[in-house]
Amino acid sequence: MHKTIFITGGASGIGRAVAVKFGQQGWFVGIADINEGGARETAAMLPAGKNSVHKLDVRDREAWDEALAACAKASGGRIDVVFNNAGVPLGGSLIENNTAEIERCLDINLKGVLFGAQAAHPWLKASAPGSCLLSTASAAGIYGTPGASVYSATKFGVRALTECLDAEWAPDQIKVCDLMPGFIDTPLIDMNPNAGSNEDIRSRVLEAGLEITPVSEVAEAAWKAVHGKDLHNRVGKTAHRLAFAARWMPGQLRKQTRSSLKPLGG
């Protein structure tokens, strides 16, 4: 019997790349996104008859249940992996961010992941052992990123949730893990970091001399995470450097962070 993965944020970027990767491996792929048109474009890249498309706003708890049930019905009754991936960027200092964009970032990046985990649990429990909840955290969840306090807070939250559920769901034999990518070559980094900025994230990253990792590397990391044993799966040089510095040189990292106006995480 084929396996099924349900992916949020599947209309582009990391979600699309992971959908293609798992589709190539013979999995049934449920593609969920608030952008239904983009989700259908992703579906067109996958083997015919082995995918389903679901319009989903991850902030809507009831919509989660409906989308997962529809995916399971289309796939033959089971879901083996839920990839909690949908997210939005938000940069700028905290005092520059307006209420609406703070609430949007919190609602999508954190509340949406919490709702997704709740909704995913019965499906993953039913297909355990071998099932997995995979969530997209960030290098910004390794050490706080100056100029992205709200975004960093959400990604630390995803990291914390992963660690909590790793313990809570162990009796159910559900694997829980996350991805911690740095700056990834997706449409998100071509967006402005906040409503008050007219410079896109990509320009800032390149100006800071940081690398942009191909999205294909994240897809490979997602495949390895689902089939591996690591709780946190770092992707890209920035994420690995931050993790090393946070563990072995915390004082130096703090000093560098305090003296830098450029973001260090993804």
Strands 132-136 and 81-84, bridge-based pairing: parallel
- The rounded distance, in Å, linking the Cα atoms of 69 and 63 is 10
- The Cα–Cα gap between 164 and 85 comes to 18
**Counting beta carbons within 10 angstroms of the beta carbon of residue 36, is it exposed (0 to 12), middle (13 to 18) or buried (19 or more)?**
middle
Query: What tokens were used for 240?
Result: 């690995």
151 belongs to the catalytic site: yes
- Whether the bond into 129 is cis, omega within 30 of 0: yes
Q: Check if the beta carbon of residue 133 is closer than 8 Å to that of residue 261.
A: no
Phi, psi of 139 (to 5 degrees): -60, -25
Say which of 27, 151, 156, 183 is annotated catalytic: 151
Specify whether the CB–CB gap between 135 and 161 falls below 8 A: yes
Q: How far apart are CA 15 and CA 68, in angstroms?
A: 16
Contacts of 75 (CB under 8 A, 6+ apart): 2, 4, 28, 30, 52
DSSP 8-state assignment for residue 261: -
Cα distances from 254 to residues 128, 146, 183, 198, 264, in angstroms, run 41, 11, 20, 28, 11
Task: List active site positions.
Answer: 151
